[in-house]
Amino acid sequence: MTYVPAPDALIGKRFDVAVAKMLGVSRSQAADLIESGEVGVMGRTMDKSARLLVGDMVDIELREEKDVPEPVCDTMEIVYEDDDVVVVNKPVGVAAHASVGWTGPTVLGSLLARGVHITSLGAPGRQGIVSRLDVGTSGLMLVCKSDLAYKEMRRQFAHHEVKKTYTAVVQGNLRQDKATIEAPIGRDKVSDFRFTVTPSGKPAVTHWDVIERFGDATLVSVNLETGRTHQIRVHFSSIGHPLVGDPMYGANPKLSRELGLDRQWLNATMLDFRHPRTHVWQHVECGYPADLRHALDVLRERKAAREAEAER
């Protein structure tokens, strides 16, 4: 039997939908696996319509080995490409690469399925990957096509020479217009798939600037000096302003529902790097996906309604 923490992007989803995405099978096949007892949640009775909760451990014991090919994300946009690198706009629900317990679509698998050449350098199943995004985070991700690019971009990321700009919506009204959060991050001792600010953690530095205020939430631009797992989510949660749509780190589920969010409002919006061959600075950016745009529209409408009411 295999135990897998419920993926961030699937928290709050119907169990049959979540199982379908995790195993790369149809929803009806997922329902059959749940009914037969081959897939369940440790410590809870689950039927196909039950919702996955934060902290759930999905137990998988397939009676026969399923030879299911990795699903491909056909909608993943290529924002920039040349002989050395390719930059994609990764949709939510797509992992950077294959990993234990994840059989949904991946950036690497989807590029290879399209016939994009990727360098053979890197760990098996992670070739060409020098930087990753969480499954539940959308936006720009760079993958290396040439050996030269892999070596140089790995160096640039390791030395923090690449500037990755994220956009996030956090709960509440941040008091300052800009600030830095500097606090070490490590695994949570209770739930080791979560991370937390802890003295025993690794150094982590997050810079943020306010873009727009909504009263009950704030849109910010974020730059990282370090690249710890869940860094933005953990740091904003640690100062009492978790990302909206992120129940794992303390988001208000009522606000998430009102904004129509199934995941944290976080997008990798801009990427600046020196081209590995020419060393000329490259700037790439992307817009927000539909779910994040919708949440912003709702926040703006709510703010406008409050201001109109105050003027009466």
Q: In the chain, at which residue ranges do the beta strands (DSSP E only) sit?
A: 2-5, 39-41, 57-60, 77-81, 85-90, 138-144, 163-171, 178-182, 185-187, 195-197, 205-213, 217-224, 266-274, 281-285
User: Is 134 in the active site?
Assistant: yes
Strand duo 85-90 + 217-224: pairing:
unpaired
DSSP state of 242: P
The active-site residue out of 8, 84, 134, 246 is 134
Alpha carbon distances (Å) from 30 to 60, 85, 103 = 11, 37, 13
Spatial distance between the Cα atoms of 247 and 217, rounded to a whole number of angstroms:
15
Per the listing, tokens 């797992």 go with 229
Listed in sequence order, the residues at least 6 apart from 275 whose beta carbon sits closer than 8 Å to its beta carbon are 84, 85, 281, 282
The closest of 88, 76, 96, 146 to 117, measured between CA atoms, is 146
Tokens of 292: 């994040």
Backbone dihedral angles phi then psi of residue 168, each to the nearest 5 degrees? -140, 155
Spatial distance between the Cα atoms of 242 and 104, rounded to a whole number of angstroms:
27
Spatial distance between the Cα atoms of 93 and 225, rounded to a whole number of angstroms:
26
- Enumerate the active-site residues: 134
